[in-house]
Amino acid sequence: MKEFELINRYFKGRGITRRDVDLGIGDDCALVSVPENYQLAITTDTLVSGVHFFEDIPPRALGHRVLAVNLSDLAAMGAEPTWISLALTLPSVDLDWLEAFTEGLHEIAEYYNVQIIGGDTTQGPLSITVSAKGIVPRGKALTRAGAKAGDWIFVTGPLGDAGLAIEARKRGIAITPDNRHEVEKRFFYPTPRVAAGQVLRGLATSAIDISDGLVADLGHILRKSQVNAVVQVEKVPMSAALKNTLVEGERWPFVLNYGDDYELLFTVSDANKGALENKLKQYGVEAKCIGQIQAGNGQLDLTLKGQKFTLPKGGYEHFSD
Ligand code: ADP
Ligand code: MG
């Protein structure tokens, strides 16, 4: 199959059509219109076979995941996703694989009202790059830099599930089929917190999505904002599947150090805390307060039931940096 046949079959005329796309797939560039008084938010992520996913990952999940991780970055800035471009490097043209992959991709694109406006198709070892674009009212994007002493620290959902799914495959952790199914769903089909990100706009002081683990990603906020933080680790939300599978001492590396869950971590002033919690609840997001920002220059302290908590050394290696 020729490149243009492949594009026509799997991309052109499939998926949603947005009114702000002036020219979509088929020319040398796409043309889009950014509304007045908005800024364009742009992010890119690549998934490489054998590095970011197992070779036997269901292709439909891969289509979902590659877009989800990009939408998560837009969510973390409070942007509304609008358009994506897709660079696809394929070892061969496998029609069943392409059908399932594009099904996963179009499904999540439609759900979030995102149009695929172009891309590139090449031959080589399997690798997928998405560049996602979004719009955000001028000056209203959330960054990593706004946290202030006294702000509260929140996460939008349970952490550690995706890591458990990965390690259960790699190391044969004892896990029941039901629990395995639950955590694999979170690894294969992560939910980018797009609505939550937009709710945070104007209320949160900083935000980031947790792709590399709570400790690492909160660390980015602390350094950019030039503040310290105390996190009470027992307050960090965990799924029932994770609690059922691991005893307490085994949980922390997953919950605190593993990424890939794509929940949002954000800070909010004491004055806006209640308003933000209520607004998130209206959108079905149960954000949990896990600690507080303090004056300082980038240090993170963890406590467990009031005692200083030190992470066990040599935690699990992160599979997908
Ligand atoms: P060019 O050689 O000018 O870059 P291509 O032949 O690579 O153009 O692509 C033709 C059109 O198809 C372009 O509009 C491009 O954006 C689009 N396209 C190519 N590959 C993909 C893909 N994997 N997904 C979506 N659109 C694609
Ligand atoms: Mg090209």
- State the average pLDDT for the chain: 94
Domain spans of the chain? Answer: 3-137, 152-309
Reply yes or no on whether the pLDDT at 318 is more than 50.
no
Reply yes or no on whether the pLDDT at 61 is more than 50.
yes
pLDDT (mean) for 122-150: 97
Q: Side by side, which strands form the sheet with 127-137?
A: 38-48, 127-137, 80-90, 115-123
Q: Residues with Cβ < 8 Å from 181, sequence gap 6 or more?
A: none
Residue 1 confidence class, pLDDT cut points 50, 70, 90: confident
The CATH number assigned to the domain with range 152-309 reads 3.90.650.10
Three-state SS at 262: coil
Q: Which of 152, 151, 148, 294 is nearest to 225 (CA)?
A: 148
Q: List beta partners, residue 266.
A: 154, 207
* pLDDT-wise least confident of 20-34, 129-143, 153-167, 307-321: 307-321
pLDDT recorded at residue 192: 97
Give the pairing of strands 300-304 and 227-232: parallel
Q: Which of 272, 249, 171, 258 is nearest to 214 (CA)?
A: 258
Q: 145, 281 in Cβ contact below 8 A?
A: no
Is the CB–ligand 1 distance for residue 158 below 6 Å? no
> In whole angstroms, what is the distance from residue 106 CA to residue 102 CA?
6
Distance from the alpha carbon of residue 88 to the mean position of ligand 1, in angstroms: 10
Over residues 265-287, the pLDDT tens digits come to 999 999 999 999 999 999 999 99
pLDDT (mean) for 187-196: 96
Pick the ligand that lies closest to the CA of residue 89. Answer: 1
Protein residues placing their CB within 5 Å of the ion ligand 2: 120
Q: What percent of the chain has pLDDT over 90?
A: 88
In this structure, the residue with its CA closest to atom 7 of ligand 1 is 120
Q: Which of 136, 160, 151, 146 is nearest to 75 (CA)?
A: 136
Q: Residues with Cβ < 8 Å from 2, sequence gap 6 or more?
A: none
pLDDT recorded at residue 317: 45
Over residues 216-260, the pLDDT tens digits come to 999 999 999 999 999 999 999 999 999 999 999 999 999 999 999
Residue 313 confidence class, pLDDT cut points 50, 70, 90: low
pLDDT recorded at residue 13: 81
In this structure, the residue with its CA closest to atom 11 of ligand 1 is 26
Pick the ligand that lies closest to the CA of residue 26. Answer: 1
Q: Which residue has the tokens 């992010």?
A: 43
> In whole angstroms, what is the distance from residue 17 CA to residue 97 CA?
24
3-137 CATH pick, 3.40.50.300, 3.30.1330.10, 3.40.640.10, 3.30.1020.10: 3.30.1330.10
Percent helix, strand, coil in the chain, to 5, is 35, 25, 35
> In whole angstroms, what is the distance from residue 167 CA to residue 179 CA?
13
Distance from the alpha carbon of residue 13 to the mean position of ligand 1, in angstroms: 13
Residue whose CB lies within 8 A of the most ligand 1 atoms, among 2, 25, 86, for a mutation test: 25
